[in-house]
A and B are shown apart, each in its own frame.
Chain A
Amino acid sequence: MMRKHSTVKGPETYLSLAILAALIAIAVGIFLAQRTYNPAVFRTESGLSPLEQGAASPGTSEKMLLPAPPGLEELSRPEQFEAQTLSDKIDGKAELYLSAGFVGLLTQRFKHPNRPDLWLEIFIYDMGAGQNSFAVYSAQRRDDAQPLDLTTNAYRTQNAIFFVHGKYYLEIIASEASEKMLQPMMQFADAFIGSTPVEFEAIAEKDLFPRKDLIESSISLIPADAFGFERLNQVFSATYQLGDAQAMAFFSHRKTPAQAQELAAAYQVFLTSFGGRNIEIMLPIQGAKMVEILDTYEIIFSCGSYFAGVRDLEDRQMAEDLALALYQKLKEAEGES
């Protein structure tokens, strides 16, 4: 008995043919696209082409919109940058922030409604901790900074304001030096501070510098590669005005006294490797070393868990006096801890 073969016709057949045709078209399209592969546009992990990565941030969202400073309107959409993409915004300066614990950046531009050439850009850096934001703030502090009463660490220059608020470091930069722009910049800053709760972190280390002849505004935190030595990180430094000369005192808290001692020894070797000359020294600071380099004196020592020293002094006696004063302050701090 012969079996009857059923035939399927009608909608199912046509649907099948349509699906097959679509699959063939997709395959042809992929083949053609792969033949014209361009390394400039191959997708990276972020899913954006290299050109697109320099443009609008992948993290832009309505929630991240900044309130427009009073009297200004939006010029561009907010942009967000993370560690991997920070250099897409600030190029080579990214290293400064990345070495200091950078978490994220939010930026946006605003313009004057009647003057398109008058605009400003707001940069909000999340540095993860108050000490980190202080580090990037102090590393870039301008010489003609005029202190502002916004926060403990805040100043303005002709066209911009810079300040620290907890873990945030902000820059508000205007397109021209204009008092007309200063008011909305300050109002935005006030509003941001008022609406952004942060944990207040006092930089207690600032009080460890001897006060005499100290240029208070010079206190800074160098997050990495201090004085060209890659092992010197998290180094507090301050400048002193000693008559006509200026000098620097510095220290860094290490985990243990042994680490502080070892770092002092390593830094001394670093200096001598660049032509520094060891000088005999008689100071009531155990283990203190003096190096003469580039016609100046540096004194290096450790005090408990602190690695410390002074540098850039042409006068040996001044170097010793400043080193001793710093040692006394650190010794008191060690005694309290």
Chain B
Amino acid sequence: MNRSVKAAACAAAACAAGYLFHDSKGPAPSEERLPDVHLPDFSIPGLNKKMAIVRGEHRSEMLNTALKALGGPEMFIKNGDRVLLKVNAAFATPAILSATSHPQLVSELTGLCYRAGASAVWVTDNPINDPASCFELSGIAQAARSAGAKVLLPEAGFFKPATVPGGNLIRSWPVLYEPLKSVDKVIGVAPVKDHHRSGASMIMKNWYGLLGGRRNIFHQDIHNIIKELAMMVKPSLVILDGTTAMVTNGPTGGSLSDLKTTNTMIVATDQVAADACGAGLIGKSADDLPYIAKAEAMGVGTADYQSLNPVFVNGWS
């Protein structure tokens, strides 16, 4: 009896100690605990001022035309390259609502990469909603698989803390790093959309899908987070799909009447220039989108896309 009482008392003391030490929030991220990773620079030397703007009806045709105008896919994809397509699969919405990257574009781009000699093509994003649903219901998963790409759904182990040099927001913040560290080229693929907070969601905003954690806190400083995302990611190429633009009620839309047929495809190696050009498709200018000037000021690219002497192609037959 005596021993039982003592044992019970020890157990109670252990439970009390466990309760006192319990920390539901977990420890704060610490640089000392895990070293930050550095995202590789995927930009291609000597190709940092390339831009093509194609007008047409069909995404696949416009993409081919744009790449041809820039020297062909072989300018950007070399034999054996492992390529990552960073798409916008943020929402589990059908492709017709243009809230996500269009499946046709994902499929065509995957095929072009393989024909240019890529050894592997991966497609990824860290969506707002459930990843599996987003990739399936948006049609991106099916399109990617059909073309031979592998869809990488985000997993906990894919994230590593990263800090953007010169940034104030992305500091030891979880970033979808594993897919990035394993590839040679990164291509950003995004639709042109209105956005309730930032004014627009295009190429630079698309990198938001590389963030993990409770990233919605950055909505309070939306223009600076977009700036830092653009500082963090140096892609090989960006493709801004303005075939159909979401001109209102973004970024989710929901009605076909939120969309406008704008028949434009912008392909560039300067993501700031791409966004500056794309702004016009939703009735805005670069000046209306503060994050563009902020990114330009940090040397990410130029808002004066005309200075890149873009190749204009009217694809109407």
B301 within 8 A of A: no
Assuming the contacts A45-B24, A87-B219, asked whether A40 and B254 have C-beta atoms less than 8 A apart, the reply is no
Asked if B27 and A37 sit within 8 Å, CB to CB, the answer is yes
Asked if B174 and A157 sit within 8 Å, CB to CB, the answer is no
B6: A residues at CB distance < 8 A = none
* 14 additional contacts (CB under 8 A) given A42-B25, A91-B252, A177-B256: A37-B33, A40-B160, A42-B26, A43-B24, A44-B25, A44-B214, A47-B24, A55-B130, A55-B131, A91-B251, A109-B92, A143-B257, A157-B257, A173-B93
Assembled-state Cα–Cα distance A94/B160 (Å): 27
Asked if A158 and B257 sit within 8 Å, CB to CB, the answer is yes
Chain A residues engaging chain B, CB cutoff 8 angstroms: 37-45, 47, 49-51, 53-56, 76, 87-96, 109, 117, 119, 121, 140, 142-145, 157-160, 162, 171, 173, 175-177
Write the nearest CB–CB distance from B221 to chain A, whole angstroms.
Answer: 13
Assuming the contacts A39-B34, A88-B128, A91-B90, asked whether A160 and B255 have C-beta atoms less than 8 A apart, the reply is yes
B129 within 8 A of A: yes
Can you list 23 pairs linking A and B with CB atoms under 8 Å apart? A40-B174, A41-B156, A41-B159, A42-B27, A43-B24, A43-B25, A45-B24, A49-B156, A54-B131, A56-B130, A88-B129, A93-B252, A95-B196, A95-B219, A119-B137, A140-B249, A145-B257, A157-B257, A160-B254, A162-B255, A171-B254, A173-B254, A177-B96
Assembled-state Cα–Cα distance A53/B216 (Å): 12
Assembled-state Cα–Cα distance A281/B90 (Å): 51
B212 within 8 A of A: yes
Assembled-state Cα–Cα distance A90/B91 (Å): 8
Assembled-state Cα–Cα distance A90/B34 (Å): 32
Asked if B174 and A144 sit within 8 Å, CB to CB, the answer is no
A157: B residues at CB distance < 8 A = 255-257
Assembled-state Cα–Cα distance A212/B130 (Å): 49
Chain B residues engaging chain A, CB cutoff 8 angstroms: 24-27, 29, 33-34, 90-94, 96-97, 126-131, 133, 137, 154-161, 172-174, 195-198, 201, 212-216, 219, 222, 248-252, 254-258
A-B contact count (CB 8 A): 139
Assuming the contacts A37-B33, A41-B156, A140-B249, asked whether A92 and B196 have C-beta atoms less than 8 A apart, the reply is yes
Residue in B131, B196, B222 whose Cβ sees the most chain A Cβ within 10 Å: B196
Residue in B127, B137, B251 whose Cβ sees the most chain A Cβ within 10 Å: B137
Chain A residue at smallest Cβ distance from B216: A87
Assuming the contacts A42-B27, A45-B25, A95-B196, asked whether A51 and B154 have C-beta atoms less than 8 A apart, the reply is yes
Assembled-state Cα–Cα distance A92/B126 (Å): 16
Write the nearest CB–CB distance from B203 to chain A, whole angstroms.
Answer: 16
Asked if B161 and A158 sit within 8 Å, CB to CB, the answer is no
Asked if B213 and A50 sit within 8 Å, CB to CB, the answer is yes
Asked if A39 and B131 sit within 8 Å, CB to CB, the answer is no
Assembled-state Cα–Cα distance A171/B196 (Å): 18
Asked if A51 and B25 sit within 8 Å, CB to CB, the answer is no
Assembled-state Cα–Cα distance A117/B131 (Å): 18
Assuming the contacts A43-B25, A54-B131, A55-B130, asked whether A93 and B196 have C-beta atoms less than 8 A apart, the reply is yes
Chain A residue at smallest Cβ distance from B254: A173
Q: Name B172's contact: one of A39, A51, A121 (CB within 8 Å).
A: A39
Write the nearest CB–CB distance from B201 to chain A, whole angstroms.
Answer: 8
Chain B residue at smallest Cβ distance from A47: B24
Write the nearest CB–CB distance from A105 to chain B, whole angstroms.
Answer: 12
Assembled-state Cα–Cα distance A39/B215 (Å): 12
A144: B residues at CB distance < 8 A = 257
Chain A residue at smallest Cβ distance from B256: A158
Q: Name A38's contact: one of B127, B156, B196 (CB within 8 Å).
A: B156
Write the nearest CB–CB distance from B273 to chain A, whole angstroms.
Answer: 23
Q: Name B255's contact: one of A45, A56, A159 (CB within 8 Å).
A: A159
Assembled-state Cα–Cα distance A240/B127 (Å): 41
Write the nearest CB–CB distance from B251 to chain A, whole angstroms.
Answer: 5
Assembled-state Cα–Cα distance A95/B222 (Å): 12
A160: B residues at CB distance < 8 A = 254-255
Write the nearest CB–CB distance from A281 to chain B, whole angstroms.
Answer: 31
A176: B residues at CB distance < 8 A = 94, 96
Assembled-state Cα–Cα distance A220/B130 (Å): 33
Write the nearest CB–CB distance from A242 to chain B, whole angstroms.
Answer: 23
Assembled-state Cα–Cα distance A63/B90 (Å): 28
Asked if A175 and B96 sit within 8 Å, CB to CB, the answer is yes
Asked if B128 and A173 sit within 8 Å, CB to CB, the answer is no
Asked if B255 and A158 sit within 8 Å, CB to CB, the answer is yes
B97: A residues at CB distance < 8 A = 159, 173
Asked if B214 and A38 sit within 8 Å, CB to CB, the answer is no
Assembled-state Cα–Cα distance A178/B199 (Å): 31
Asked if B29 and A39 sit within 8 Å, CB to CB, the answer is yes
In the A-B complex, list the 10 residue pairs whose CB atoms are closest, starting with the nearest. Answer: A40-B159, A40-B174, A42-B26, A175-B94, A39-B29, A92-B197, A55-B130, A87-B216, A142-B257, A157-B255
Assembled-state Cα–Cα distance A38/B172 (Å): 11
A39: B residues at CB distance < 8 A = 29, 34, 159, 161, 172-174, 213
